[in-house]
Amino acid sequence: MYEMLIMALPGVLQPENFLAIVFGVLAGICVGAMPGLSATMAISVLIPFTFGLDPLVALGLMAGIYNGAMYGGAIPAVLLKIPGTPAAVATTFDGFPMAQQGRGGEALQVAVVSSAIGGIASALSLMLLAPPLAQVTLLFGPAEMFWIAVVGLLSIVFLLGGNLVKGLVAACFGILVSLVGTDTVNGTDRFTFGFFELLDGIHIVVLLVGLYAMPPVVDLLQTQLDTSQFKYDKDQTESIWVAIPKMLRFWKTWIKSSLIGIWIGILPGAGGSMAAFLSYNEAKRNSKNPDDWGKGEPEGVAAAETSNNADTASALIPALTLGIPGTAVAAIMLGGLLIHGLQPGPMLFRESPDIVFGFMWQFLFGAILLIFLGGSLATNSFAQLLKLPRPLLGSLIVVLMFIGVYSINERMFDVYLMLIFGAIGIAFDKLKFPLPPVVLGLILGSFAEENLRLALTIGLGDWAILTKSTTSLVLISLVVLVVMTPLIKKVRNS
């Protein structure tokens, strides 16, 4: 299967595809640099605009944005002590003290180089691990696919941390939304309430924009950013190409943090912030001078930024092969694949190898481009983004949200539906209900139902078909493990 990976490369290097990655990285850095905006939000707003585009151009944009935003979050984290994205919290620990000492430019350079290295490692892991895993999953039947959906859903609920009941509510809500529309097996209209617009179900983009874009826009409109601590002197910052050789002393941290980030990315629900914290603590533990950490140690920035970028592409390993995303952004990217007619899962590697392998290359190029685009420009230009008027930006995003959702089917019904999901998103956000399980429920709900019904048809209505194969039993054990792990942890802690 690796030969297909090589064969996909020329397609990615086509000018329009490559430009999409460049534009995506630049846009991603801008989005990540704005506190309150995230890659999740940017991609969910962007997806509708990619409808008419070639799938590789659309996916290149998404890969670029994801890579760019994960680094972009470091800019306000270093300069203002406000993480641009949740994954950049650990970057503030040493990045901000460096900026206070007049070394903000150096901190950003360490951040961008480390982000690129983490991203490259993550893309390589995706290239190496996804193809063989896809081969294995081709052997799965409907019963196994049903259990995979259950494992995916439960793992994002149980491993995400926080309130389990709220996570389960979110997942059930997502599944319920996935059931709206005509039942494809027997033609029953479910929860359509006489609206013909609902017969085809609820478009994932409508839900994504409502849930993921509205809460940050509300935040953007109503909160002012305190830039009084903004301290950045570009004249004191040397060229990134002069700075890189001096950073080579972080090689051990880069390797360790990359491995941690990749592992966390593969685990459903864990996410970049957990990767960054783990790597930061691990690097600090192994440091010769741990007392300097938290006071402006560049290695701390390197550890955090490497790992939060290393979980980007690796989160797509379970997403592309099994249809189970490792992070919220990966869940949204699955939505992006779906709107281009690409069903995530093992068959994707057979049916559209040029696109799926091209997507992997795009992640790699996106990470490499970070050094060129972020490194040479970030220290001078992107820092100025923090001065953009937030209300103006918020009102612009409101317009973009409208255009994006309306453009799907050119009807106002979808826009009103987005408003409803937006209200739910704001309520969920304020009451600390996790949003990734909703998206995963929407993606996996109907998938699980379809496979369950297919398995029961094959088994002539006998539910035992779900436990007959060894793979099913292994997956059931995984379900038990996923459910029990946080419970055991809780008992241990108490």
Partner 1 sequence: MNRPLRPLTAVCIVLIGACVYLGAEAWGFKPESALLPLTMIISLILLSILLIISDQSSADGAKSTITIASGNAYLVMVGFVISVDLVGFYPTLVIGLPLIAYLFGYKNLRMLAVATAIVSLTIYGLFDFIMMKDFPLGIFG
Residues of this chain that bind partner 1 (CB under 8 A): 52, 165-166, 168-169, 172-173, 175-176, 179, 183, 185-186, 188, 190-191, 214, 217-218, 221-222, 224, 389-392, 394-396, 398-399, 402-403, 406-407, 410, 412, 415-416, 419, 422-423, 426-427, 430-432, 445, 448-449, 452-453
> Residue 393 corresponds to which amino acid?
L
Least gap, CB of 21 to partner 1 (angstroms):
20
d(CA 422, CA 403): 15
d(CA 492, CA 442): 33
Least gap, CB of 22 to partner 1 (angstroms):
19
* 36 close to 218: Cβ distance less than 8 angstroms: no
Nearer to partner 1, 119 or 323 (CB): 323
d(CA 426, CA 435): 10
Nearer to partner 1, 21 or 401 (CB): 401
How does DSSP assign 320-346, residue by residue?
Answer: HHHS--SSHHHHHHHHHHHHTT---SH
Nearer to partner 1, 186 or 470 (CB): 186
* 180 close to 202: Cβ distance less than 8 angstroms: yes
Least gap, CB of 103 to partner 1 (angstroms):
33
* 442 close to 149: Cβ distance less than 8 angstroms: no
How does DSSP assign 449-469, residue by residue?
Answer: HHHHHHHHHHTTT-GGGGGSS
Nearer to partner 1, 134 or 439 (CB): 439
Least gap, CB of 296 to partner 1 (angstroms):
33
Mapped onto helix, strand or coil, the DSSP state of residue 237 is: coil
What the block records as the tokens of 14 is: 């086509």
Q: What is the dihedral of CA 334, 336, 342, 346, to 10 degrees?
A: -20
d(CA 334, CA 316): 9
Nearer to partner 1, 138 or 165 (CB): 165
How does DSSP assign 267-304, residue by residue?
Answer: STT--HHHHHHHHHHHHHHT-S-GGGTTSS-HHHHHHH
Least gap, CB of 451 to partner 1 (angstroms):
12
* 61 close to 22: Cβ distance less than 8 angstroms: no
Q: Which residue has the tokens 């959702």?
A: 405
Least gap, CB of 442 to partner 1 (angstroms):
12
d(CA 143, CA 151): 12
Q: CB burial class (10 A; 0-12, 13-18, 19+) of residue 253?
A: buried
Nearer to partner 1, 311 or 414 (CB): 414
Least gap, CB of 406 to partner 1 (angstroms):
7
Nearer to partner 1, 123 or 170 (CB): 170
Nearer to partner 1, 10 or 162 (CB): 162
Least gap, CB of 392 to partner 1 (angstroms):
4
Nearer to partner 1, 453 or 468 (CB): 453
| H or E, element range at 386 | none
Least gap, CB of 407 to partner 1 (angstroms):
6
Least gap, CB of 461 to partner 1 (angstroms):
10
Count the Cβ atoms, other than its own, within 10 Å of residue 157.
28
Nearer to partner 1, 41 or 116 (CB): 41
d(CA 443, CA 361): 25
| H or E, element range at 186 | none
